[in-house]
Amino acid sequence: EAQVTQNPRYLITVTGKKLTVTCSQNMNHEYMSWYRQDPGLGLRQIYYSMNVEVTDKGDVPEGYKVSRKEKRNFPLILESPSPNQTSLYFCASSLSWGRAYEQYFGPGTRLTVT
Protein backbone atom coordinates (compact mmCIF):
# COMPACT_ATOMS: atom_id res chain seq x y z
CA GLU A 1 0.00 0.00 0.00
CA ALA A 2 1.28 3.44 -0.99
CA GLN A 3 1.71 5.50 2.14
CA VAL A 4 3.63 7.99 4.24
CA THR A 5 4.46 6.70 7.71
CA GLN A 6 5.56 8.65 10.76
CA ASN A 7 6.95 7.48 14.05
CA PRO A 8 6.21 7.91 16.83
CA ARG A 9 2.54 8.88 16.61
CA TYR A 10 2.54 10.34 20.10
CA LEU A 11 5.46 11.69 22.09
CA ILE A 12 5.74 13.44 25.44
CA THR A 13 9.16 14.78 26.30
CA VAL A 14 10.89 17.37 28.45
CA THR A 15 12.51 20.65 27.52
CA GLY A 16 15.97 20.25 26.04
CA LYS A 17 15.92 16.51 25.37
CA LYS A 18 16.83 15.89 21.74
CA LEU A 19 14.31 13.94 19.71
CA THR A 20 13.79 12.71 16.17
CA VAL A 21 10.51 12.09 14.38
CA THR A 22 10.92 9.74 11.46
CA CYS A 23 9.10 9.98 8.14
CA SER A 24 9.20 7.42 5.38
CA GLN A 25 7.39 7.08 2.04
CA ASN A 26 7.22 4.06 -0.25
CA MET A 27 6.12 5.85 -3.43
CA ASN A 28 9.56 6.88 -4.75
CA HIS A 29 8.56 10.52 -4.36
CA GLU A 30 11.14 13.24 -4.94
CA TYR A 31 9.57 15.93 -2.76
CA MET A 32 9.04 15.67 0.99
CA SER A 33 7.99 18.24 3.53
CA TRP A 34 7.29 18.78 7.23
CA TYR A 35 4.45 20.85 8.68
CA ARG A 36 3.20 21.77 12.09
CA GLN A 37 -0.47 22.27 12.78
CA ASP A 38 -1.66 24.62 15.51
CA PRO A 39 -5.26 25.65 16.26
CA GLY A 40 -6.41 28.60 14.18
CA LEU A 41 -3.20 28.68 12.15
CA GLY A 42 -3.67 25.80 9.76
CA LEU A 43 -0.53 23.98 8.70
CA ARG A 44 2.75 25.83 8.45
CA GLN A 45 5.68 24.48 6.50
CA ILE A 46 8.84 23.83 8.51
CA TYR A 47 11.27 22.40 5.95
CA TYR A 48 11.04 20.77 2.57
CA SER A 49 13.28 18.67 0.38
CA MET A 50 13.22 18.54 -3.40
CA ASN A 51 15.49 15.50 -3.58
CA VAL A 52 18.27 13.65 -1.79
CA GLU A 53 20.67 16.09 -0.11
CA VAL A 54 18.52 19.08 -1.19
CA THR A 55 16.63 20.76 1.65
CA ASP A 56 15.36 24.26 2.29
CA LYS A 57 13.56 26.25 4.95
CA GLY A 58 9.83 26.74 4.98
CA ASP A 59 7.97 29.40 6.92
CA VAL A 60 8.79 28.28 10.48
CA PRO A 61 12.20 26.53 10.51
CA GLU A 62 13.58 27.88 13.81
CA GLY A 63 14.38 25.13 16.30
CA TYR A 64 14.21 22.32 13.75
CA LYS A 65 16.66 20.40 11.59
CA VAL A 66 16.16 17.94 8.77
CA SER A 67 18.25 15.68 6.60
CA ARG A 68 17.59 13.75 3.40
CA LYS A 69 20.21 11.07 2.95
CA GLU A 70 17.89 8.58 1.28
CA LYS A 71 15.01 9.28 -1.05
CA ARG A 72 12.42 7.53 1.11
CA ASN A 73 13.29 9.07 4.50
CA PHE A 74 13.05 12.61 5.79
CA PRO A 75 13.51 12.79 9.59
CA LEU A 76 12.68 15.88 11.63
CA ILE A 77 15.11 16.64 14.45
CA LEU A 78 14.48 18.84 17.47
CA GLU A 79 17.87 19.25 19.12
CA SER A 80 16.61 21.19 22.13
CA PRO A 81 12.82 21.07 22.24
CA SER A 82 10.90 23.84 23.97
CA PRO A 83 7.24 24.03 25.07
CA ASN A 84 6.37 26.25 22.11
CA GLN A 85 7.14 23.30 19.85
CA THR A 86 4.21 21.39 21.31
CA SER A 87 2.14 20.75 18.22
CA LEU A 88 0.78 18.23 15.74
CA TYR A 89 3.36 17.45 13.07
CA PHE A 90 2.71 16.12 9.58
CA CYS A 91 5.09 14.76 7.02
CA ALA A 92 4.07 14.87 3.36
CA SER A 93 5.47 13.76 0.02
CA SER A 94 4.72 14.32 -3.64
CA LEU A 95 5.93 12.82 -6.88
CA SER A 96 7.91 15.91 -7.74
CA TRP A 97 8.01 19.59 -6.88
CA GLY A 98 6.12 21.24 -9.72
CA ARG A 99 2.89 23.12 -9.17
CA ALA A 100 0.70 20.30 -10.45
CA TYR A 101 1.69 17.77 -7.82
CA GLU A 102 -0.47 17.22 -4.79
CA GLN A 103 0.99 16.11 -1.50
CA TYR A 104 0.24 12.90 0.35
CA PHE A 105 0.22 13.21 4.13
CA GLY A 106 1.26 10.95 6.93
CA PRO A 107 -1.02 10.28 9.93
CA GLY A 108 0.61 12.91 12.14
CA THR A 109 2.75 12.96 15.28
CA ARG A 110 1.41 14.68 18.35
CA LEU A 111 4.31 16.12 20.33
CA THR A 112 4.06 17.54 23.83
CA VAL A 113 7.08 19.28 25.37
CA THR A 114 6.84 19.96 29.12
Partner 1 sequence: AQSVTQLDSHVSVSEGTPVLLRCNYSSSYSPSLFWYVQHPNKGLQLLLKYTSAATLVKGINGFEAEFKKSETSFHLTKPSAHMSDAAEYFCVVTEGYGQNFVFGPGTRLSVLP
* Residues making contact with partner 1 (CB under 8 A): 31, 33, 35, 40-45, 48, 50, 56, 58-59, 90, 92, 97-108
CB contact burial 43-53 (16+ within 10 A = b; e otherwise) = bebbbbbeeee
Residues in contact with 19: Cβ distance below 8 Å, sequence separation at least 6, in sequence order: 11, 13, 77, 78, 81, 111
- Shortest reach from residue 15's CB to partner 1, in Å: 26
Instruction: Give the separation between CA 13 and CA 28, rounded to whole angstroms.
Output: 32
Q: State which residue, 80 or 96, has the beta carbon closest to partner 1.
A: 96
- Shortest reach from residue 65's CB to partner 1, in Å: 18
- Shortest reach from residue 101's CB to partner 1, in Å: 7
Q: State which residue, 14 or 49, has the beta carbon closest to partner 1.
A: 49
- Shortest reach from residue 104's CB to partner 1, in Å: 8
Percent helix, strand and coil across the chain, each rounded to 5?
Answer: 5, 50, 45
Q: State which residue, 47 or 78, has the beta carbon closest to partner 1.
A: 47
